[in-house]
Amino acid sequence: MKKLQNSLAAKVCVWVVLLAAAFGTGLFGVQARVSFRSVVSDSWQDSVRYQNAVENRRLELVEGIHLSQELELLEQQMEAGRAGPLAYADAEYLREQRAAVEERFSRDNTWFRFRVLTDNGQTLLGTNLREDETLSGVVQTVHYFSFELREGESYVYYEDPYAEADITPVAPKVEGESAEAVKVVLEYGVPEEINTGSVFVHDEFTIIRAAWQNDRAFFDHYLTGFCWLGGLMLFALIWILWTAGHKKGEEGVVLSWQDRIFFDLYAAAAIAAVVMLACCTIWAGDQLYWGTVNSYAIQNEDFETFFNLGVMGTGALFAAGVGCSALLLRTLAVRLKARCLANTTLLCRVVSWTLRSVHEFVQCLPFTWKMVLGFGIYVLFTFWLIARGVYDGFFLLIYWVIQLAVVCFIAWWTYGYYRLRQGTKTIAGGDLEYQIDTRRMPYDLRLQAEDLNNISVGLAGAVDEKMKSERFKAELITNVSHDLKTPLTSIINYVNLLKSTEQTDPKARDYIEVLDRKSQRLKKLTEDLVEASKASTGVLSVTREKIGMSQLIDQALGEWEEKLAGRKLTLVTTMPEGETWVYADGRHLWRVLDNLLSNCAKYAMEGTRIYLDLERGKGQVALQVKNISREPLNVPAERLMERFVRGEESRSTEGSGLGLSIARSLTELQGGFFELAVDGDLFKAIVTLPQAT
């Protein structure tokens, strides 16, 4: 799971799955939205599409009746010779329009059935029913609509087709004539079962009924797809939040560039984008829905293409909104994991900076000004509460609560001052190790108490440091003088002997050999002194690179194997399989290993074992060197790492006491840790360095 959490390929795949699932969810969602009305309606004639289509047919039919009236009036005017010069063209246009209406309402072209009657229900003005048919027997629901026809005037609608109408007289078009009004009742409807048997008519009602059946048939599929893809989308989102902030090769949570943007600005932009995309998605879904209920639109040949493109566009808008929401939730999860939400929020930074500035300003004020300022605020606030408490008892209650809080604060401050005075007396009495308890103490008193504690600690530390420094100087002078005196004396004596003998003397070679050996020891000692000084001050140059620790140990053991065998010391090594790589300076690391093995060769008890263990893990490599000391170790481990300190005080060996000190300084220069542990005669040195991959 850790690999999947850090895998970049897995993250990309999950993002693709999230957007694809969101796109599919949007597609199925808008389809279910459009189909929902068809599912809740028991009959296709209960749908909004049908009602709009019937309403449009009714408007067309009424408009056709009005055209017929205008045509009859125009023909009458032409017969009476009162028509204008363009009356013939107008009449032809009206005839074409009326013919088009008659063609549309022919029973061979539509399932719309109607009857046009006068208001008494007796005179039949027009119908597309057969003589053997009745409207109530053909259609499922009969709709009624009434209006008035006047000469030269538009029609007037009535809610109740058979109600008595209060007809308002209309001024006649020609002086002396009155406008005749004819009240007309329109009865209409559509059969429930259409395109059954051998009769097939293709009109908007055919399309509406087919769409209604299709919506009812596929609604369950739309809803199932919406739920499944929504669940997949939610799973992908949870996965993204789980893997957010984790990166291959990095420990802990890693912030990306978008996680460094102020969160409130990022959230404002993301929320604005999500709201805009949500509004666009809802608007597009509504447009698609109202487009499907438009009886004219659904008859267009390009409507299906337009509808499919609209559905895909709605899905894309929804996917974009989900993507923006996922980005916002992802960066929120990363900031919460890294615990940096407040630090990466501009508002929090501004508030924090303001509070910190006010706090620092108050802290910088002298104690007297703090007291004056605090007392002034207390007095003003108290007067305000008393003034308001005259009219409102609630503010008077707050006043007494404030007084009680002030009394408690004064008692707390007084107790803190008492503790400070008692601690001051104790320290002044000579007890420099006494520490004043500063917990739950007022700020100014706590600062004073901490200063007093620091004075006692500083005095005790200065005394210890001075004693240690004096001891170190004395030991340095004594040890260096002792270590340099013997070889220098030998060199001087043998040089004098060489001067007093002839060059042909056979002993000259022996003298020269001794002189050479002692001079080499003196050279080594001086080099150790110089290197110890440089290592402790950190002036040595360090070039860290990837080094094979196992190989370096093998080389060092190869050089020291003969010397260790001469001391009857047995090496027992434990190393992990494969090479162990570290970041270190090869020259300095070699010197550390050489000093540790040299220390074993000089001070280990003969006939014992030397254990050398190499371990790696958690980004570090640890080398442990353990041996049994020849002499009792009466020196603490920390003191053994000081310069010129050896485990045996007789100084009968050739050691300078600088090896462990140099090893520790060189290890720390390479970014590692050097530790010593002493348990009886057991001596253990641990060198820890960063592991390289």
Does the residue 452 lie in any domain? no
CATH number at residue 592: 3.30.565.10
Overall number of domains in the chain = 4
**pLDDT, position 415:** 85
The stretch 196-202 carries a mean pLDDT of 72
Report the range out of 166-180, 285-299, 472-486, 540-554 with the highest average pLDDT: 540-554
Does the residue 389 lie in any domain? yes
Q: Are residues 388 and 328 in the same domain?
A: no
Does the residue 383 lie in any domain? yes
The yes-or-no verdict on residue 466 having pLDDT over 60 is: yes
Q: Check if the beta carbon of residue 203 is closer than 8 Å to that of residue 109.
A: yes
Question: Which range among 18-27, 84-93, 255-264, 361-370 shows the weakest confidence by mean pLDDT?
Answer: 361-370
Q: Are residues 177 and 228 in the same domain?
A: no
Does the residue 112 lie in any domain? yes
Q: Are residues 184 and 84 in the same domain?
A: yes
Report the range out of 3-17, 340-354, 641-655 with the highest average pLDDT: 340-354
∠ CA 551-557-559 to the nearest 5 degrees?
Answer: 110
Res. 523 pLDDT band, cuts 50 70 90:
low
Last residue of a domain, one of 378, 405, 428: 428
Question: What are the pLDDT digits (tens) for 82-119?
Answer: 767 777 888 888 888 888 888 888 888 888 888 888 76
Last residue of a domain, one of 163, 191, 219: 191
Q: Are residues 551 and 652 in the same domain?
A: yes
Which has the higher per-residue pLDDT, 308 or 139? 139
Question: What are the pLDDT digits (tens) for 147-189?
Answer: 877 655 444 444 444 443 333 333 334 444 445 667 888 888 8
The stretch 520-538 carries a mean pLDDT of 64
Determine how β-strand 682-690 pairs with β-strand 673-679: antiparallel
**pLDDT, position 285:** 75
Task: Map tokens 């260790």 to a residue.
Answer: 564
Q: Are residues 401 and 288 in the same domain?
A: no
DSSP letters, 422-444, are HHHHHHHTT-TT-----TT--HH
Q: Measured on CA atoms in the order 527, 528, 533, 539, is the torsion positive or negative? A: positive
Q: Check if the beta carbon of residue 346 is closer than 8 Å to that of residue 265.
A: yes
Report the range out of 177-186, 224-233, 476-485 with the highest average pLDDT: 224-233
The stretch 380-400 carries a mean pLDDT of 78
Q: Are residues 27 and 48 in the same domain?
A: no
Does the residue 351 lie in any domain? no
Determine how β-strand 581-584 pairs with β-strand 545-548: antiparallel
Res. 275 pLDDT band, cuts 50 70 90:
very high
Res. 622 pLDDT band, cuts 50 70 90:
very high
Does the residue 113 lie in any domain? yes
Q: Are residues 371 and 330 in the same domain?
A: no
Does the residue 487 lie in any domain? no
First vs last C-alpha separation in the chain = 21
579 DSSP assignment: -
Last residue of a domain, one of 428, 460, 478: 428
**pLDDT, position 687:** 92
- Using CA atoms, how far apart are residues 455 and 412, in angstroms rounded to an integer? 25
**pLDDT, position 468:** 73
The yes-or-no verdict on residue 507 having pLDDT over 90 is: no
Provide CB contacts within 8 A for 632, sequence distance 6+.
Answer: 648, 681
Q: Are residues 635 and 551 in the same domain?
A: yes
**pLDDT, position 165:** 37
The yes-or-no verdict on residue 626 having pLDDT over 70 is: yes
**pLDDT, position 641:** 64
pTM of the model as a whole: 0.47
Task: Map tokens 């005080």 to a residue.
Answer: 649
Write down the mean pLDDT value for the chain: 78
Which has the higher per-residue pLDDT, 563 or 468? 563
Residues in the chain: 693
377 DSSP assignment: H
**pLDDT, position 178:** 46
**pLDDT, position 324:** 92
**pLDDT, position 577:** 87
Res. 509 pLDDT band, cuts 50 70 90:
low
Task: Map tokens 């074992």 to a residue.
Answer: 609
Task: Map tokens 């690179």 to a residue.
Answer: 545
Does the residue 321 lie in any domain? yes
Q: Are residues 555 and 686 in the same domain?
A: yes
Q: Are residues 579 and 565 in the same domain?
A: yes
**pLDDT, position 176:** 41
The yes-or-no verdict on residue 65 having pLDDT over 80 is: yes
Q: How many angstroms separate the Cα of 83 from the Cα of each of 92, 154, 172, 256, 553? A: 14, 20, 18, 84, 123
Which has the higher per-residue pLDDT, 486 or 80? 80
The yes-or-no verdict on residue 134 having pLDDT over 80 is: yes
The yes-or-no verdict on residue 519 having pLDDT over 60 is: yes
**pLDDT, position 655:** 53
Domain assignment of residue 235, given as a range: 2-42+207-338
Phi, then psi, of 147 in degrees rounded to 5: -160, 170
**pLDDT, position 488:** 66
The stretch 599-616 carries a mean pLDDT of 89
**pLDDT, position 469:** 67
The stretch 553-577 carries a mean pLDDT of 88
Q: Are residues 652 and 569 in the same domain?
A: yes
Q: Are residues 293 and 373 in the same domain?
A: no
Question: What are the pLDDT digits (tens) for 9-46?
Answer: 888 898 899 999 999 898 888 888 777 777 777 777 77
Which has the higher per-residue pLDDT, 643 or 602? 602
Res. 470 pLDDT band, cuts 50 70 90:
low
Res. 624 pLDDT band, cuts 50 70 90:
very high
**pLDDT, position 299:** 57
The letter for the amino acid at 462 is: A
